[in-house]
Amino acid sequence: LAKTTQPISMDSYEGQEVNITCSHNNIATNDYITWYQQFPSQGPRFIIQGYKTKVTNEVASLFIPADRKSSTLSLPRVSLSDTAVYYCLVEAAGNKLTFGGGTRVLVKP
């Protein structure tokens, strides 16, 4: 059975880099790994997506090792407004879309 796991929570301080790793041991061969951010009482918001190696956009980087059984979201120089829950989303073999359990990131001043 597909299992997508993330750390439950993570604290950081303004200006630091935050790295969140998601383990997805049964990812489908052709599937992309997508990360979302969710604030209270809002829907998840797309952050970044990748298939392998490294992807970078204006808000984050995504590192994916060759075996693709995990991925690491990197948020550079976080601010208070980055306090949120972060989810990875993969499609497991069998076409089941599965969110990770979510990582609550608290950014302190």
Q: Give the nearest distance from C-beta 109 to another protein in angstroms.
A: 24
CB of 79 vs another protein, minimal distance in Å: 23
If the CB atoms of residues 81 and 109 are measured against another protein, the closer one turns out to be 81
42 CB contacts (<8 Å, ≥6 apart)? Answer: none
Rounded least distance, CB 61 to another protein, Å:
17
The torsion region of residue 16 among left (phi > 0), alpha (psi -120 to 50) and beta comes to: beta
91: tokens are 């499609």
Positions touching another protein (CB under 8 A) are 28, 30-32, 34, 36, 41-46, 49, 51, 87, 89-91, 95-97, 99-102
* Tokens representing residue 12 in the block: 């950081």
